[in-house]
A and B are shown apart, each in its own frame.
Chain A
């Protein structure tokens, strides 16, 4: 089965914004792609909850797998996305304001 091994490049890991971008990209591919960390169970790349559950951090090595027509193209596109730092253009976090009294 075609596969790609890639290191997560996003500073915050495969969480939040990077995970959302990755899941959306996987869902747009014509073939189902799976993702796993090491020997652990492979999960569907288009499942936000499953991808988050991997707990992949920046620098974690993940394996993408797919089968069928277009599998190689899909894997290349998703591997390329994962290797990038998807946090780089993230918006700044907003700080909550508190109220107190005298």
Chain B
């Protein structure tokens, strides 16, 4: 039984409806001082709604909240912050042009007659960064120059400056590499030992089982299970989330390797990659592993013609096609999925139908005039086939969940009849059920004779669905070897080979 001493936050019987659809139905959630509490569940089960209630962004229809033993009903994020509840968002919220110091103090400046007290600010930031064990970040650096991990630290520091007692992390590792994730975990455990209560939301169950002390599973707007992390397998968690026993995380669709369709010979770009050689076949899934910044994304971009190929050659169906641009590539049957879904991959404000048909709109047009009816029919077909949860083809993509947005982005490649799929982090920020479907779709692409080149930082999926894997390390692409000859540790070893000692490479 929990006593009032350790209890920090209690949410009880929280319900919320949007129109007719219930988002939350009587959810109960408890957070103790000095614990990391994982909140897990698939997309659309109400995790974000629950956190919106907690942060005051939305008011529940019914239910009560208690913080530190007194009633808590924030009218908005500002009030929540003043009560000590802070959110670390998946989309990092910083002002890129401001210095780290200005970002950390933003909205909490202390001044005398409106003049910033620099000394107070600087020492405050330094103290917090030391506490986070990230003293190497220079407070005078522009925040926009930091990498994603550094930006996240800025956000955490901001929360600490505001004396947060409850800290909510929403998918904090989705844009971090393994090393930065490790550092984040140690930051989180420091915060825990400071007595903060931490809510940790993530799709990565292996991660959750490492950092969390307890868990609560949300399914269809209800809290279906809660308990201590010890002795609970990730398989069990996944089953609780889905509500049925998960048989297969990496469904394999049988496919057969055909002739070489894409051949890279010593491809080099402006800075990255340095040299990449590869032969990719029809009916084959080739994975590209490596650390963030090793040049994987740059390779994909160079092949697709978004970046210049400075050295080497790209051959498609045996013909040299090194100098190119995306519109030529599309005509050649190549399609690319961007790692930056929101910034580059999709036009969030435009409809599903538009986004799905951008590269091949001509299919539905005569003399430049769109036949909207035929397009609508076809789009509805894709929505069914890809199980995209939406209100219809005219719904703006920005309103969909991450997983469904990603399905639209992938459906686009199928719609344009791509033969060569370049996929950059196809399952980033996507829930488990959608991941499984995306794996199935990738398998289907290979089964119909397409070649899939897939970049991923999530090693289990590369090992789970690829036929061959090549590893990018500091701009050099290794030989692509059959998946059987790789293991997670072997990939990491290859990816980090030629690195300086770990102490040198500490980045924020």
The reply to whether chain A is a binding partner of chain B is: no
Residues in A lying within 8 Å of B, measured CB to CB: none
Residues in B lying within 8 Å of A, measured CB to CB: none
